[in-house]
Structure 1
């Protein structure tokens, strides 16, 4: 597989953040290396992308600057088309993604202060730069998806694609697992839920007596990404929130504080900050129940008894999931676990909750873990048993085990062909000027060479 995808955009991962952190302190000689329409690509853009790649563990050489430049040129072609097509940024989605990434980065670095120290900028500035880059990425990806949306791949085309591949050229997939789970929420949790409600009632009373909502959110809220801003979220549309939260939030007047709201994330109190059209800015304080060791032990014992029923063939794992599991995402499909992003039923280590992988790695195919404490996709405490249906060793992609992967590769090839034709047309219809210092680059699209100038 090619090391650089033709439409690789300026990605935003932890490596990107650390690269920017290093870049913020670097003394680089900047200058324009290319102009695409009204946009300029700076030497610092190239340096930053190379640094990001290094921070993600990739080995880079001086020659890598050529494909990096080509990726940025294509990125700017897509943005120019986004301007022509009047593609706008979905601010709600952008702000949501920024908050998610900031929360992840804070978790990785240990604290907001440490994140600011490593990056050399305030959280506000980090978010502003992220918002701009994610917005660009979103608009460029919208153009690309519109260009390739008509690509369809038939089963015969998938097989034909596979037969034409040199075996050694196909990618290797890591070890994967087919897993089923039964999940119980903590039993006898009434005391924990009562305690968390009492805490929120106390915080609400303090606010009504004059204490600042933002101060208490910073001190107590378990939503750390918003707690860093006094519990405040950016302006978001109603659909950006879960229904129970949205129903209460959008019923509030400016400054009003809600009663306790229960959602799948935990328990909240909400304050309306202000509205703009169909968007609202709110603050919230989130608290989750704290379960005692006795509650967890009781739940573990209950789930171990279900496990015993399964081992004694009194019930199948699949039927037990339907009867006992509290996990709405898996209980109706026999407990089958899937990747949250792709929906695939073959899970890699990296896509699993770490404690789940720690338990699964001890198993042989067909075996079931003891009941253990874990977390659900929202970070809530749960107790699980997991059955390892099958281990799929690392191997090169093949039609038998990996039809969906081969189908995706075939579809991507057709999309790349279509994109290549569009890029060649777009190159000839837009003003471009590229520094002649890159004349020796072996670009995927040779037409760039015609735009070289001193």
Structure 2
């Protein structure tokens, strides 16, 4: 029963959270005319035909308005993101919208500080992400969202992201300091009936050895000389820095905006080397070429606005020679052969030969980026990684795989499964960390429920239309 309580609430919260992290434009604070049309809608389904307002006000929470269309657009976005809404009713989703607005409203009342830089960056990433999917059709995007200009679209997206950010910050404020003691974890586990204890899926521990082709000094110098040539052409001949970005930069994230980023001294974002160079420059200055893990850069500092620096940059990565690529391939083939014939264990080979610092000193053991432990639940492994290890038996070494990442355009690796834990009923000793997380979630749910009860009572809330018949978990109708 405890697990059911946690899961039913967290499913809705997790589902709704997708709206903030995806390319979502719902919940705009705009009231559209009350044209009457026939739609199929009830509180839980879309079957019963009733005459309702096409886009009237469905609810008001504090200073926020939820329109009739918001929920339908929210559902469409969630489905597009792959969310499973089979067992989630419209009333539950509408309740989550109300909750999100309550968080945002209270965050404003509590003067929660808004990270303007993050929201601006988030908005720009969303626009560029959608344009990448629509082959740059900005006019089509404006038509779809019924906006007259790019600025109007950006303004609306900014407000939506700001409200989502406020809601998330308020959630963190409510639950951020909550912790569970070992005794609370034990009590939580013991209170779960034996026949209701969760089943944890198959988990793997994975290790890898990575060999990265070495960049020659000649390739590095060629890039430095090219960037120095760009700098000279702009400074002495008046060439456009932005045009050179569009033609030459290898930073795909900023290419469409002319290489532009906004940095803030108080909010680290870019890598340290990039920030150090930018914050040492004067307006209008172009830096000398400098190196980061991503390659070589030059920066043009366009504007300083208090703590914010508007910069443009060009990124170029040195070319890899065929000799360097073949050398790396030969090296990892040799490493694999030594492991296969028993000359070295996988862990020994990783410590001696791997170029991946994050795993090298752990004997190649990979860390799950979500749980921060060594266990990967089989059904939740990223598809690309799953494809690489799905046929591996315990202790078997994969064939040499060619891969890439944000830093390295080519790398070679081998993988192995170091341990496998099959599906099993929760065991307090073996699964302590997972049980601790469930106990923490349970405690957070209780804290949120208490906070909501108090805050709803103190906040103006009005629910209209079919949603008055919903059986909300929280007292939104103030009965």
- TM-score bracket for this pair, using the shorter chain length: 0.7 to 0.9
d(CA) in 2 for partners of 1:153 and 1:119?
Answer: 50
User: Which shows bigger deviation, 176-185 or 270-279?
Assistant: 176-185
Aligned pairs for 1:117-196 (under 5 A) are 117=141, 120=144, 127-165=154-192, 175-187=202-214, 189-196=216-223
d(CA) in 2 for partners of 1:377 and 1:350?
Answer: 25
Stretches of structure 2 lacking an aligned partner (at least 5 in a row): 1-6, 28-36, 38-52
User: Which shows bigger deviation, 55-64 or 372-381?
Assistant: 55-64
Give TM-score, length-normalised by structure 1.
0.85
Q: Does 2:8 align with 1:2?
A: yes
Q: CA RMSD in A?
A: 3.4
User: Which shows bigger deviation, 28-37 or 385-394?
Assistant: 385-394
The Cα of 1:171 is off from its aligned counterpart by 6.2
1:245-283 Cα offsets, whole Å, 9 max, x none, are: 111111121111111121112211111011122221100
The Cα of 1:365 is off from its aligned counterpart by 1.1
Q: Does 2:18 align with 1:11?
A: yes
d(CA) in 1 for partners of 2:428 and 2:138?
Answer: 47
Kept in 2: contact 1:296–1:383 (CA 8 A) = no
Q: Specify the SS of the correspondent of 1:47.
A: helix
d(CA) in 2 for partners of 1:123 and 1:345?
Answer: 45
The Cα of 1:402 is off from its aligned counterpart by 3.9
Kept in 1: contact 2:25–2:160 (CA 8 A) = no
Stretches of structure 1 lacking an aligned partner (at least 5 in a row): 21-26
d(CA) in 1 for partners of 2:124 and 2:424?
Answer: 37
1:193-215 Cα offsets, whole Å, 9 max, x none, are: 34433433333333232221111
Kept in 2: contact 1:218–1:228 (CA 8 A) = yes
Give TM-score, length-normalised by structure 2.
0.81
1:216-237 Cα offsets, whole Å, 9 max, x none, are: 2122222222111111113533
Q: Which residue of 2 aligns with 1:23?
A: none
Q: 1:197 aligns with which of 203, 212, 224?
A: 224
Aligned pairs for 1:368-379 (under 5 A) are 368-376=397-405, 378=407
Q: Does 2:39 align with 1:33?
A: no
The Cα of 1:70 is off from its aligned counterpart by 0.9
Q: Which residue of 2 aligns with 1:24?
A: none
Q: Specify the SS of the correspondent of 1:289.
A: coil
Q: Which residue of 2 aligns with 1:89?
A: 114
Kept in 1: contact 2:206–2:419 (CA 8 A) = yes
d(CA) in 2 for partners of 1:115 and 1:169?
Answer: 53
Q: 1:54 aligns with which of 68, 75, 79?
A: 79
Q: Which residue of 1 aligns with 2:264?
A: 236
The 1:218–1:349 alpha-carbon spacing in structure 2 relative to 1, beyond 3 Å, is: farther
d(CA) in 1 for partners of 2:54 and 2:314?
Answer: 46
1:272-300 Cα offsets, whole Å, 9 max, x none, are: 01112222110011122332444222101
Q: Which residue of 1 aligns with 2:339?
A: 310
Corresponding residue pairs, total:
443
Kept in 1: contact 2:368–2:376 (CA 8 A) = yes
User: Which shows bigger deviation, 2-11 or 90-99?
Assistant: 2-11
Q: 1:429 aligns with which of 458, 461, 464?
A: 458
The 1:362–1:234 alpha-carbon spacing in structure 2 relative to 1, beyond 3 Å, is: same
Q: 2:353 aligns with which of 313, 324, 327?
A: 324
User: Which shows bigger deviation, 134-143 or 98-107?
Assistant: 98-107
The 1:165–1:112 alpha-carbon spacing in structure 2 relative to 1, beyond 3 Å, is: farther
d(CA) in 1 for partners of 2:150 and 2:319?
Answer: 29
Kept in 2: contact 1:17–1:119 (CA 8 A) = no
Q: Does 2:221 align with 1:214?
A: no
Q: 1:76 aligns with which of 74, 90, 101?
A: 101
Q: Which residue of 1 aligns with 2:328?
A: 299
The 1:411–1:270 alpha-carbon spacing in structure 2 relative to 1, beyond 3 Å, is: same
The Cα of 1:396 is off from its aligned counterpart by 6.3
Q: 1:256 aligns with which of 269, 285, 301?
A: 285
d(CA) in 1 for partners of 2:11 and 2:369?
Answer: 24
Kept in 2: contact 1:6–1:71 (CA 8 A) = yes
The Cα of 1:346 is off from its aligned counterpart by 2.2
Kept in 1: contact 2:290–2:298 (CA 8 A) = yes
Q: Specify the SS of the correspondent of 2:478.
A: helix
d(CA) in 2 for partners of 1:89 and 1:18?
Answer: 19
